[in-house]
Chain A
């Protein structure tokens, strides 16, 4: 046909093909025994292995040659689903014969294949140019598929879920802490950052100093910031009546919360000011000339027009906070980071995954939902 192969299809298809030859899973006789690699045909019953190879070859071919985004999406999504089912099947197969302490985790082949397929799926979705509602629907479908796999018990043979079963209560409790940290600090940052952004937009000479100061705060490494906060918050807890009862302490959730808030300020303030500055001069002049009061100009013209940029700031902050909240565990702040640091301490990779995977998923969901929200605003129609 003389067509050159797809630009993204070459590396991702190649990666997928290579991944087939690499170990699909890793097997350990018990939780801390050394990992032994298991190839596709060792880890899966023959029928499953053949099906995976066949589908994967089809996916490679489509990635290389197919032009229609819908076809690319259908095949790569189907392959991704098959891969997710297969790793569960491997967990069941490998632990079936062995002792009850056997651990099965996804191997390097699985991760590479999953990565390549995730890229192919998102690329196909981008090529389809779905509207915001389409993107939300795609997200909902992905979450539903994930939920079904979890509920069906297909993954129960995997060691991550074994770790989960051992600490289900803690998982949900720390998940709650994680959300409290990320959303709570975001809410406070919005409440403080938007008015501050409005203020520096109006009093221009404060703009540069305030933004520079906040940038400086942003550059403090998070661990250092936690450390810096321990002293003043400890002092507040000891000396301000009622503060300790509210949970203010030198370590724990309070300094983590304050640190996340401090990191959130710059994006909130800068985006609010930038959004307001981008309102066309003719529009602000007309608003004043029509006889809107200062407050009406702000509420019904300037803020609505700046909203997409402000929401972009919220998106940045939320994704950043969901990631950063992981570190809160270092100073006893809780969150999914608790498992990550426990896992690091015990060199238990599965436990690290138990903390890391939900964090990544949360950040991803937050990003997609907020992006779609920005596009759904009337101002985005311009």
Chain B
């Protein structure tokens, strides 16, 4: 549990983060979105005290972060940034080992952890571990950056536009991987982005920031259906709104008995995926299969479209 109370940062008398108060549940993903210069990075960096607040407090599991030594606090919190910040004079293995070494882990444990993390991020340890950062592609560097942030098994992860420099395909893959890793490890993640689709895809809750203030802090569906202000509404984007909303809804509740023509879709997919498939294949309904591949009914275009109109 992270409690943030009245957090404020001023530079030269001008507030860039103003009086932010929020509570973040352990094991959830909170995404901070906002336009450039809205104070997202400053806010994030106050959590691990890379920036000292002008006013307000951050409490992690009931302990005020000001009561800890800054470097000890940071060793407990994973940190990943947009241009990955890998140390160019160290190999990948040495980079990932940064925090475990600071914590004085024994050699063998560090080596095992490095292997484990590279495998977790689908990088071949024998090939990648001895390389230097400049010998990796941008996507590989970014994954090593995430591996380094995860190295000492932090309960909490701060990520500042971690996928900002990636192309759309790799980016989508990296988002899926992060989601899977988070579900497996149960980490608390605070992630900054200016991409609303990324926020909706990854966030359990989204905090929308504008001019240093948090305009709304709510689950993605609420952000879409009940935007708290004009700023939030404009960030969501009127023409994308229905599709973003459909992307949040699972197929399962709309499955009805019956059959349909053509290749089936899994219950794990979103209504947006189903709509895309219907449009592209020109079908009125799709057969639905469960995780094991067994047929469990169909989903129709009519049901889908009415589900896409949120309750008001």
Contact = CB atoms under 8 A, between A and B. Distances in A.
Contacts of A290: 74-75, 79, 98-99, 102, 148
B79 A378 contact: no
B78 to A, nearest CB: 9
B181 interface: no
A382 interface: yes
Contacts of B74: 288-291
B71 A285 contact: no
Contact of A283 (B71, B72, B73, B88): B88
B74 to A, nearest CB: 4
Given A291-B72, A291-B74, A283 B85 contact: yes
A182 interface: no
B9 to A, nearest CB: 16
Nearest to A283: B85
Interface in A285-318: 285-293, 296, 301, 304-305
B81 A381 contact: no
A382 B134 CA distance: 6
Contacts of A378: 89
Contacts of A282: 81-85
B50 A379 contact: no
Nearest to B74: A291
Nearest to A293: B71
A381 B99 contact: no
Contact of B87 (A288, A293, A301): A301
B48 A305 contact: no
Nearest to A288: B50
In this complex, which of A288, A304, A305 has the most chain B Cβ atoms within 10 angstroms of its Cβ?
A: A288
Interface residues of B, number: 26
B7 interface: no
Nearest to B48: A289
A281 to B, nearest CB: 8
B87 A382 contact: no
A305 B79 contact: no
Interface in B85-113: 85-89, 98-99, 102
B75 to A, nearest CB: 4
A292 B81 CA distance: 16
Interface in B41-69: 48, 50
A379 B72 CA distance: 28
A305 B88 contact: yes
B132 A381 contact: yes
B89 A292 contact: no
B67 to A, nearest CB: 16
A287 B99 CA distance: 10
Contacts of A292: 71, 98, 102
Contacts of A293: 71
Contacts of B82: 282
A379 B132 CA distance: 10
Contacts of B148: 290
B88 A286 contact: no
Contacts of A283: 85-88
Contacts of A304: 89
Contacts of B99: 290-291
Given A291-B99, A291-B102, A286 B89 contact: no
A292 B70 CA distance: 10
A291 B69 CA distance: 10
A286 B50 contact: no
Contacts of A286: 79, 81, 84-87, 145
A378 B50 CA distance: 29
20 contacts: A280-B88, A282-B85, A283-B85, A283-B86, A285-B50, A286-B79, A288-B50, A289-B48, A289-B81, A289-B158, A290-B79, A290-B102, A291-B71, A291-B74, A291-B75, A291-B102, A292-B71, A293-B71, A304-B89, A382-B88
By Cβ-Cβ distance, the 7 closest A-B pairs, closest first, are: A286-B85, A291-B75, A291-B74, A289-B79, A282-B85, A282-B83, A291-B71
Given A282-B81, A283-B86, A285-B50, 9 more contacts: A282-B84, A286-B79, A286-B87, A289-B79, A290-B98, A290-B102, A291-B71, A292-B71, A305-B88
